[in-house]
Structure 1
């Protein structure tokens, strides 16, 4: 099954070469997946651009193979890509994304390393019950923290609200829909009081899949919006924040050693 090209990601196990990667950095944006491959890997090969889910395989400076793949936006697309990545032999996935802070001390340009997610995602409910924990792998989380410290990148470690929608689900009112459901009015302040650090749209489902499927997963996101001030993405800081998240993820992948049982 995995020898053939898989329907969504557009490649199979045989396409990964003689040194197949077991680690994938997973980005929502295909341009971010390309940037990781071209900026941090050598001997890069484009595996597929199927459905905009661009995937690249290359070699890190220490000789380790790495897959840079695209999840697409949101949990449903992520769930499909992750399932197929596991089928071709990936055993560790680090999501490299962007997010919006809901805490005053979590500033734009810094990164959030997610230890666990408040998971409000329909796709995740098809994987496991609502009460099933959406937790990052602790060893991967430590590796990301150590990478941030080594690189002197400002980081925050904690709980992420992983939701299905960018506008309504994150209580944005400056959009076409000015009439939020009652259940979403005040939800950001409620999450803030629960010490949730940020909003994003994929990691909760990724973490539940990791628990059920038996692979390791982590998440690092660059902060591109400060929701205690406004709803907009701060475009002037987006590249800086994204680059910080990428550098930390690449460093963690490069130095990753599978923990002894």
Structure 2
């Protein structure tokens, strides 16, 4: 008999510890904040590499939250294991993003209907062309409706998942994406959407604008950890 793949090198959890719906903030301290602030009977199931994971209940529904780290390689590992080893069916990234569109300002909420990328993540699938990573429509539609019911204005559209935080091209890189109507830049959603598509499960990315590179405005690291509650409340209702 083959050895069980869990616990994994990246996750202390055993099968059953993690709910079918999980929130994935990049920052593990944001996961801790959500568990302590919003979940009842929260139990910590992961501490490996400081990437905290918790399972609890929100309005009577079982839900998990776990840090996913920075960049597509990191969320690629965590989401793959959650889907294929732990049976997670709905993965909702809740992260920060830099505004590309001039219409966005600090603390605005964006939902990624699709994501462009400069990553080579799709290379592994040996596709005979380009793959367009998109959100699950049911989760997307529900999130938009939930936001409206909560009085939160959201912008839905195309985002950028980039491998590069400090680009040698500077703002010229983002300016090129702006011409194509891309709303904002982050670093994880494309890998999440591709992993979900390959496994036939559901994924969605909800973002809060944490900085505006073209104006120089930015939120503090403390705000990024605990102040982005509007997107958290939208995501929690998706359980």
What is the alpha-carbon distance in structure 2 between the residues aligned to residue 112 and residue 185 of structure 1? 21
Secondary structure (helix, strand or coil) at the match of 2:207 reads: strand
Q: CA deviation digits over 1:177-232, x for unaligned, max 9?
A: xxx25xx77221121111100000000111111111111000101111112312x5
Instruction: Select 1:100's aligned residue among 98, 101, 107.
Output: 98
Structure 2 unaligned blocks of 5 or more:
none
1:55 corresponds in structure 2 to: 53
Secondary structure (helix, strand or coil) at the match of 2:198 reads: helix
Change (3 A) 1:27 1:148: same
CA contact (8 A) 1:99 1:224 kept: yes
1:196 corresponds in structure 2 to: 182
What is the Cα deviation at residue 247 of structure 1? 1.4
* Corresponding position: 1:227 with 2:221: no
Change (3 A) 1:140 1:65: same
What is the alpha-carbon distance in structure 2 between the residues aligned to residue 144 and residue 128 of structure 1? 32
**How large is the Cα RMSD of the aligned pairs?**
2.0
What pairs up with 1:1-261 in 2 under 5 angstroms? 4-14=6-16, 16=17, 21-61=19-59, 63-86=60-83, 87-127=85-125, 129=127, 131-168=130-167, 180=168, 186-230=172-216, 233-235=218-220, 238=224, 242-253=228-239
Q: Number of paired residues?
A: 234
Structure 1 unaligned blocks of 5 or more:
169-179, 254-261
Secondary structure (helix, strand or coil) at the match of 1:206 reads: helix
Change (3 A) 1:237 1:56: closer
Q: CA deviation digits over 1:13-65, x for unaligned, max 9?
A: 04x1xxx510000111001111111111101101011012110010111x211
Change (3 A) 1:234 1:128: farther
What is the alpha-carbon distance in structure 2 between the residues aligned to residue 195 and residue 220 of structure 1? 18
Change (3 A) 1:127 1:25: farther
What is the Cα deviation at residue 128 of structure 1? 6.0
TM-score w.r.t. length of structure 2? 0.90
Secondary structure (helix, strand or coil) at the match of 1:105 reads: coil
1:175 corresponds in structure 2 to: none
What is the alpha-carbon distance in structure 2 between the residues aligned to residue 10 and residue 123 of structure 1? 26
What is the Cα deviation at residue 116 of structure 1? 0.2
What is the Cα deviation at residue 144 of structure 1? 1.2
